[in-house]
Amino acid sequence: MERGLPHGRAQPGAVTNLTPKSAKKFILDNTALMAPPHVPEVLLHLADEAHDLWLRTEEELAEIGLPPPFWAFAWAGGQGLARYVLDHPGTVRGKRVLDFASGSGLVAIAAIKAGAAEVIAADIDPFCATAIALNLEANAVVVEFLGADCVGSDGGWDVVLAGDVFYDKAFAERLMPWFAGLRARGADILVGDPGRAYLPRTGLQSLAVYEVPVTRVLEDAEVKRTTVWRLA
């Protein structure tokens, strides 16, 4: 797990004590509108060194009903994947796209900017609904939000985009059969990954490699070598 960030992901059905109105205020108070360094075409409400959201522990966040704020950071895998989509718009143009574990919505926004016909941003963290809505507004784009665990389901997507999802062994073991099933019926599965521990070692084709600037507090590095993979 990355240094400087509370451990764990929100679980399906996680409860937050914050209402949509108070969630919006919390996001606006604890982030700044900025462009991720590797994807300057997109604006996001992100936490930076000026906001103590970096330093709050999981216990402190739990007191206000906030799951770990993955939505507040532009992770290396997501930045690499968004960069690839913007540079290769044919990947998504005219297609139905799922941005899985969307977080801030960065990859979803990149996909709709690249010409996708429809984009669904899916994340089980209930806070992401508000965070992504604010980020969509900042970029003047429209994307559907799905606040459900869609692993194992099939919405008929043409392309599934997944950034930084192989951080946990059990989660990776759930993902791969699902991805394989979608690929077998013809979906294109693209993964952005900066070398997470549970990335599969076989069955992936490298499409591009990027040197992505990141925040040392999160990654214990200033640049992460990030690969965009396609499920073969």
21 confidence band (pLDDT: 50, 70, 90):
confident
Listed residue (94, 90, 86, 139) closest to 116, CA to CA: 94
pLDDT tens figures, 92-142: 999 999 999 999 999 999 999 999 999 999 999 988 999 999 999 999 999
What is this structure's pTM? 0.88
Q: Between the CA atoms of 84, 85, 89 and 95, what dihedral angle is there, to the nearest 10 degrees?
A: 150
Residue 70 corresponds to which tokens in the numbers above?
A: 């993955």
